[in-house]
Structure 1
Amino acid sequence: MEHRRIQLYAALFLLDIAILFGSFWLAGYLLIGQLPSLRAVQVMQFTVPIFVVIAIYNRLYSIRALEEFRHAVVRLAISLSVSAMLFLVMTFYVGSSSDFARLTFSLAIGTAFVGMVVIRRIVCWSIIRNFRGRVSNVLLIEDGGPKIDLPGVDRFAADAVLLENAQRDPETLDSLGRTMRNMDRVIVSCPLDRRVFWTRIMRAAGVHGEVVSEALQELGALSLEREHGWSFLVVSAGPLGLQARLTKRMIDLAFTVPALFLLGPVMLIVALLIKLEDGGPVFFVQPRMGQGNCMFDMLKFRSMKVERLDSSGTRSTSREDDRITRMGRFIRRTSIDELPQLINVLRSEMSLVGPRPHALGSLANDKLFWEIDGDYWQRHSLKPGLTGLAQVRGHRGATETEGHLTDRLQADLEYIRTWSPWTDFKIMLATARVLVHHNAY
């Protein structure tokens, strides 16, 4: 398989160069009607070496780029974009750019990208059809450990006789060594007491060896770190890095500050109407669990009668709830009661998008939420949101069954795993469709 990979790398590399050459020749012909165009050739001579260096550095020719079409397209787009920017910087400093060169360059790069994507689509389809989707040699040694379902791998069943002989018979070791030869990965599934044995065998064979661990699977281990001779298992790395957190905060402020100015008059009118109805407080302040399992005071417009307020949230609001005031029924149905949480966002206690914070006493099937699913607390690894993925999927209203809670939890955990700025924008747009919802009561 290694030889086939090298052949594929070489073929892709040569095809990429050929596509780049052809794209520049075609661009020159379409723009001035000459084939070949001297200017197009000059631009091409600068661009192709830059692309080659960036593509190799960016691992455009790698195992993952062969096996995963989407990854290959992303790497290709980055390589071509960086190459284009470097070319433009070079031409700017030497003062050699012209309208013709820019047009030629843009057309050539766009044509090349399309051609290279088509080639990679064909290569990925061919790998799936002819090599079961893999161009890497992976050996799975089954020695009484947990069953592992990995498509496209070679399997080797180890028996007790082999294990006994391998500890004192060079010929058995030779047989094992030949089995592991030329493998990109060797994975062993074995009981705990034989892991040391297989570790020594794989190290002696000089292969990339891995041992399956049920305990690590249960922990959801992310990686292994070593420091001062000790090994540390990484089980939690935080869902967002510094750059992602700054991006998310900038999005929050970019929308929250203008929203407070625009919706300020509406909020003042609502506050006045609440006060006029029964003379009670305007806001309902309730402790909720926030990021890092730390509590904060969440703000809402008060929608219930003062004497019937439920600060713990033990009783979910029902459709014909007698605790709700006339004004409260309107602001709950239109989600206006949630607007004061923009202040929570401004104070960095909440985000515009994230898992909705639940009342601490909320119940489903007479159980507290965290008693239903042990993963419940993981939803607090991000700031709670004014809206979230669960809400735009229609998971609103009372949690009468355990399924109501698990549906929301799975949506929240999916959001945490797959967060991106684009995800937040999509959820905010989708929220407009569910501001007035049949479960908003």
Structure 2
Amino acid sequence: MTAQIPVRAGDRDPDGWSYSDTQAIRATLYLVLALSDAGIVAAAFGLSDLLRHGNFTDMATLSYWLIVPIFMAASLYVRAYSYTTLIARHLSIWKAATAMVGATAATIMILFAARNSTDISRVAFFTGTLFSLAGLILIRLPLPLLIKHLGSHFFRRVLIVDGPFDHPIPADIERIDAAALGIRPEITDPLMLHRFSQIVAGADRVTVSCTVEERERWSLYLKSVDCYGELLIPELHNVEPLGDPSGLGLASVCVSIGRMDLRNRLLKRGLDLVLASIALIALMPAMVIIALAIRIDSPGPILFRQQRMGRANRLFEVLKFRSMYVDLADQRGDQSTRRGDPRVTRVGRIIRATSLDELPQLLNVLGGSMSLVGPRPHALGSRAGDNLFWQVDRRYWLRHTTKPGLTGLAQVRGYRGTTAREDDLIKRLESDMEYLTHWSLMTDLTILVRTVFVMLHKNAY
């Protein structure tokens, strides 16, 4: 595996901040704001109840168990916690108010349907709503100032320079000289793509200045690392297009917007953590038995580790139960497993046929390098026919714009096993691209259910 290439010494700016921390900082701010909103709404209705009745009645209980959850759900629905919302004060206030009004209306309908509306003081209820709106507005007034103070620590912009460039660069934009780091947009070199992905990891907007001849390859690079990416187009500078997305005062063309925003990644990650934890606990006895069987059957480690391409085309180490003899194992995956393969042990035949050899990847899911559902990760030496996977179809790199999965749409459709022909890979690739285009939490849940019925498969050997 290629060593990490630092953008600068220690990969930190003079203040000691890590340039890959911007998304974590934003996620933390969103969480703090969401918890503050919930506290404001609960406190507002509690205060209203106290002022109206002199003590806490059913009104306070109602706010904790009904109004606050509905308000939080409405806030997530209107995307009240996002970068574009928080940098625009009026938009942030509008979305918070919309969520509060929606929560109020929903609560009234629920109380009316339950015939409990007569037990609630209308004065206290609507006073609580007004207090909530006031608190939600007040907490949002200083947010743009806080975000401006954080600057590049809150939103990281990177300029990749591949060729001559003499235009002034604002202080909050990071300049990276591709030639100085030995980075070339070579689409046939997975290790080069891995190095580039490491350098721009965590960047929110990546702009590339390059020659006309290199634009196509840089465009594919930007699409493959799951970021908002754009190319500077000098011939359009005199046209002066509206807006300045690059922040450089130069014309640019967006070529990539990333597959998932932070909100959807958090939802998907939450689903992974919950279900993977439950599965790991439930399957632990079976995993212990398999581990003992592997140890007794043949000498060597219980787990097999192999480098594979992960999210944003960065390499990671996948875990599997060892199913081959140690001296015959293929670390690069240059040779696909075939029926009756002499490299496979007796226990290995059983766990491969039942897909139980994949269970240790639950640890990959918990560690964050994989997801429960996504395109399956492939070894670097994998071939379709006589060609390496990425030589068959250049869209292959685009399937890595999300985390690889323990299962995926291609697998539940039966596209698994050896790839003796190029068409075997293309069918899987088309399914992967369909999954990425139409992703939703319901899609993930559907694929997980369907996986149960295809664990035993004629192509699993």
TM-score by length of 2: 0.50
Shift of 1:259: 1.0
Residue 288 of structure 1 corresponds to 308
Question: SS of the counterpart of 1:310?
Answer: coil
1:273 counterpart = 2:285? no
1:390 counterpart = 2:410? yes
Residue 362 of structure 1 corresponds to 382
Q: Which of residues 417, 437, 440 is equivalent to 1:417?
A: 437
1:263 counterpart = 2:286? no
When residues 359 and 88 of structure 1 are mapped into structure 2, their CA distance, relative to the original with a 3 A threshold, is closer
In structure 2, give the amino acid aligned to 1:401.
Answer: R
Counterpart-to-counterpart distance in 2, 1:98 and 1:330: 56
Residue 272 of structure 2 corresponds to 252
Shift of 1:84: 7.2
1:77-126, Cα deviation, whole Å (9 max, x unpaired): xxxx998754344689xxx9575698xxxxxxxxxxxxxxxxxxxxxxxx
Counterpart-to-counterpart distance in 2, 1:265 and 1:436: 20
Counterpart-to-counterpart distance in 1, 2:381 and 2:454: 25
Residue 87 of structure 1 corresponds to 105
Question: SS of the counterpart of 1:313?
Answer: coil
When residues 89 and 401 of structure 1 are mapped into structure 2, their CA distance, relative to the original with a 3 A threshold, is same
Q: How does 1:332-343 map to 2 (within 5 A)?
A: 332-343=352-363
1:156-185, Cα deviation, whole Å (9 max, x unpaired): xxxxxxxxxxxxxxxxxxxxxxxxxxxxxx
In structure 2, give the amino acid aligned to 1:255.
Answer: L
Shift of 1:219: 6.3
In structure 2, give the amino acid aligned to 1:337.
Answer: D
When residues 228 and 276 of structure 1 are mapped into structure 2, their CA distance, relative to the original with a 3 A threshold, is closer
Shift of 1:358: 0.5
Question: SS of the counterpart of 1:375?
Answer: helix
Counterpart-to-counterpart distance in 1, 2:338 and 2:325: 15
Shift of 1:389: 0.6
Residue 330 of structure 1 corresponds to 350
1:28-64, Cα deviation, whole Å (9 max, x unpaired): xxxxxxxxxxxxxxxxxxxxxxxxxxxxxx9xxxxxx
In structure 2, give the amino acid aligned to 1:372.
Answer: V
Identity rate, percent: 47
When residues 307 and 91 of structure 1 are mapped into structure 2, their CA distance, relative to the original with a 3 A threshold, is closer
When residues 260 and 314 of structure 1 are mapped into structure 2, their CA distance, relative to the original with a 3 A threshold, is same
Q: Which of residues 224, 236, 242 is equivalent to 2:256?
A: 236
Shift of 1:338: 0.2
Counterpart-to-counterpart distance in 2, 1:98 and 1:379: 47
Segment drifting more, 300-309 vs 394-403: 300-309
When residues 91 and 300 of structure 1 are mapped into structure 2, their CA distance, relative to the original with a 3 A threshold, is closer
In structure 2, give the amino acid aligned to 1:229.
Answer: G
When residues 331 and 85 of structure 1 are mapped into structure 2, their CA distance, relative to the original with a 3 A threshold, is same
Higher relative contact order (CA 8 A, sep 6+): 2
Bigger Rg, structure 1 or 2: 1
When residues 99 and 276 of structure 1 are mapped into structure 2, their CA distance, relative to the original with a 3 A threshold, is closer
Aligned pair count? 248
Counterpart-to-counterpart distance in 2, 1:346 and 1:326: 29
When residues 232 and 396 of structure 1 are mapped into structure 2, their CA distance, relative to the original with a 3 A threshold, is same
When residues 437 and 88 of structure 1 are mapped into structure 2, their CA distance, relative to the original with a 3 A threshold, is closer
Residue 34 of structure 2 corresponds to none
Residue 456 of structure 2 corresponds to 436
Root mean square deviation of aligned Cα: 3.1
1:317 counterpart = 2:337? yes
1:388-432, Cα deviation, whole Å (9 max, x unpaired): 010011100000000001111111111111111011001001101
Counterpart-to-counterpart distance in 2, 1:380 and 1:331: 27
When residues 270 and 235 of structure 1 are mapped into structure 2, their CA distance, relative to the original with a 3 A threshold, is same
Counterpart-to-counterpart distance in 2, 1:230 and 1:243: 30
Counterpart-to-counterpart distance in 1, 2:248 and 2:322: 56
1:323-348, Cα deviation, whole Å (9 max, x unpaired): 11110000000000000000111110
Gaps spanning 5+ residues in structure 1: where?
1-57, 59-80, 103-214
Question: SS of the counterpart of 1:263?
Answer: helix
Q: How does 1:340-355 map to 2 (within 5 A)?
A: 340-355=360-375
